[in-house]
């Protein structure tokens, strides 16, 4: 039971403890499966031991000595992905790490290009590693002057090493003028001194091999990349110059247009009535209404049958958007104010916020029949052709604007607190006014000579929630026949004043 057969793979024996793998051509190679025990093994150097001990099993084969006095190469085994591992010979004496001269890859599933690259790089590093460390640094500038008697190269240096260094020097001198100015490579003298320095390390050698090119006719890819980068920068610089010129030109045009733009007409006589301060009692009444129950009906307008609850009145608080009920009630109050004092105000008509949506609800974006009965003589007591101005609220999803059919000045006006323009609104209203006059009075009116005006010199909002207040105040001031002499700073006052006028159902 202590016998050991040799039917295992030879690779396992080569990797066994303290043994080297004998070659098949060697005279010491054993072919028999059963080991032989003879008296020749019982020498003073090999004492007799028990067959069951580990020493007995390991000492059955004699140690193999190489036939020639050369470096011992251990067997190589190639692992997956192109990386090789070397089995070190663990004989008594100096440890050597050799590379198998006849390597045959066991598994070529890895990257063969990476394997060949690593192999070539390893051989190059090994050649550098075997250079003589006692060599002196060669000075490139004085190399030709010294000659053989200068002592620049020691007598025992090989011819191959001198040729390699001279090749590096010659190549660096050729590429120095092309690349030194751009800072792409280090100086030639420092490169040669690094290659021939006695304290050269493997890391420095790898960097030198990656950065230096020993081929005299090869172009550096970094030089072409640098040239392309310079060309790209030059193209972008020209584009930036053109853009700066266009910006400067447009700024000059803008300044010229501002000079040609008519200045806003100064308000000569600012009316007092639109800016009457609220009393303390009126302010307290408004604050109490803001704090009331949301479902509580605060006031009801009988002519329009609109109820204003505490929830609807909340839209007049600072920062809130105006709703349809508050806008429609206030426009009704403006019409009632005109009826009380017709001598102080222009004759106007105020459509509610649903009129324009109904007018453009047709298939072709226009439907006069849907709003034909809104302006009957029996319902209004007058016809639109008798009015000086007709106000139409325009709602654009989240923004309020005002359109005016100004019969007095023969204009179709559009007022947007954000400075917007909408020609379609004015075209629709022009068509409507022609159809309305034709339907109610039977007259054909020509509005082709009327001006379409997008009012520019008007107060503009400076936030995102006061567009509704600007819209109803445009109608308020235009119906008075005065200029728009207010601004963003008056909006807080106008909100309280509008709330007071709605609560008392009377516009002043």
State the number of CA atoms in the 13 A half-sphere of 312 facing the CB: 22
Q: What CA–CA distance (Å, rounded) separates 151 from 143?
A: 10
- Pick from 460, 392, 456: nearest CA to 426: 392
Pairing of strands 451-454, 411-415: parallel
Reported residue count of the chain is 508
Could you say which of 315, 349, 467, 476 is catalytic? Answer: 467
Q: How many CA atoms lie within 13 A of 180 on its CB side?
A: 11
Rounded to an integer, what distance in angstroms lies between the CA atom of residue 355 and that of residue 360? 9
Sheet holding 348-350, edge to edge: 348-350, 389-396, 399-406, 411-415, 451-454
Catalytic residue among 76, 416, 466, 476: 416
407 contacts: CB under 8 Å, gap ≥ 6: 385, 387, 388, 389, 390
Greatest Cα-to-Cα distance within the chain, rounded to the nearest angstrom: 148
273: three-class secondary structure by DSSP: helix
Give the contacts of 289 (CB within 8 A, at least 6 positions apart).
Answer: 298, 310, 313, 499, 503
Could you tell me which residues are beta bridge partners of residue 391?
350, 404
On the CB side of 42, how many CA atoms lie within 13 Å of its CA? 8
Torsion of CA 356, 350, 470, 409, to 10 degrees: 100
- For residues 309 and 315, what is the distance between their CA atoms, to the nearest angstrom? 11
Burial 58-92 (b: 16+ CB within 10 A, else e): eeebeebeeeeeeeebbbbbbeeebebeebebeee
Alpha carbon distance 391, 479 (integer Å): 9
On the 0-12 / 13-18 / 19+ scale of CB atoms within 10 A, 7 is exposed
d(CA 491, CA 508): 17
The answer to whether 301 is a known catalytic residue is no
Question: Any catalytic annotation for residue 416?
Answer: yes
Query: What is each CA distance from 359 to 5, 200, 423, in whole angstroms?
Result: 108, 92, 16
CA angle (468, 470, 474) in 5-degree steps: 120
Catalytic residue among 399, 422, 439, 485: 399
Residue among 85, 109, 110, 83 nearest 99 (CA): 85
- Which residues have a catalytic role annotated? 399, 416, 467
């Amino acid at each position: 039971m202590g016998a050991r057969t040799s039917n295992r793979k030879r690779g396992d024996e080569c990797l066994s403890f303290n043994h080297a793998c004998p070659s098949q051509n060697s005279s010491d190679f054993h072919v028999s499966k059963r080991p032989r025990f003879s008296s020749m093994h019982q020498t003073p150097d090999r004492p007799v031991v028990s067959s069951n001990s580990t020493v007995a099993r390991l000492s059955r084969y004699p140690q193999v000595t190489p036939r020639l006095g050369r470096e011992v190469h251990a067997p190589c085994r190639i692992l997956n992905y192109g990386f090789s591992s070397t089995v070190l010979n663990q004989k008594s004496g100096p440890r050597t790490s050799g590379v198998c001269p006849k390597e045959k890859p066991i598994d070529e599933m890895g990257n063969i290009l990476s394997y060949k690259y690593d192999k070539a790089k390893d051989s190059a590093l090994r050649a550098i590693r075997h250079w003589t460390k006692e060599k002196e640094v060669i000075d490139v500038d004085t190399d030709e002057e010294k000659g053989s008697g200068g002592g620049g190269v020691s007598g025992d240096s090989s011819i191959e090493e001198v040729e390699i260094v001279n090749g590096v020097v010659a190549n660096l001198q050729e590429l120095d003028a092309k690349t030194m100015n751009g800072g792409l490579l280090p100086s030639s003298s420092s490169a040669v001194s690094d290659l021939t320095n006695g304290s050269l390390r493997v890391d420095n050698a790898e960097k030198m091999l990656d950065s230096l090119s020993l081929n005299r006719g090869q172009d550096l890819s970094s030089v072409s990349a640098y040239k392309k980068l310079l060309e790209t920068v030059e193209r972008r610089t020209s584009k930036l110059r053109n853009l700066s010129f266009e910006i400067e030109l447009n700024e000059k045009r803008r300044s010229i247009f501002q000079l040609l733009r008519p200045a806003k007409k100064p308000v000569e006589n600012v009316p007092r009535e639109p800016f009457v301060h609220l009393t303390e009692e009126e302010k307290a009444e408004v604050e109490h209404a803001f704090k009331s129950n949301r479902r509580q009906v605060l006031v009801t307008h009988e002519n329009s049958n609109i109820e204003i609850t505490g929830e609807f009145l909340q839209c007049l608080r600072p920062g809130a958007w105006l709703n349809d009920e508050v806008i429609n009630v206030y426009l009704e109050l403006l019409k009632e104010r005109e009826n009380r004092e017709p001598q102080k105000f222009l004759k106007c008509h105020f459509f509610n916020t649903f009129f324009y949506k109904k007018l453009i609800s047709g298939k072709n974006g226009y439907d006069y029949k849907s709003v034909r009965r809104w302006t009957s003589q029996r319902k209004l007591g007058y016809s639109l052709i008798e009015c000086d101005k007709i106000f139409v609220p325009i709602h654009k999803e989240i923004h309020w604007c005002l359109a005016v059919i100004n019969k007095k000045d023969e204009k179709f006006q559009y007022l947007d607190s954000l400075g917007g323009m909408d020609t379609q609104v004015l075209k629709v209203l022009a068509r409507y006014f022609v159809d309305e006059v034709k339907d109610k009075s039977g007259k054909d009116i020509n509005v082709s000579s009327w001006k379409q005006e997008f009012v520019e010199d008007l107060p503009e909002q400076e936030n995102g929630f006061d567009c509704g207040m600007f819209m109803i105040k445009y109608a308020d001031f235009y119906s008075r026949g005065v200029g728009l002499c207010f601004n963003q700073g008056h909006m807080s006052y106008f909100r309280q004043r509008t709330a007071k006028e709605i609560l008392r159902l009377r516009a002043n």
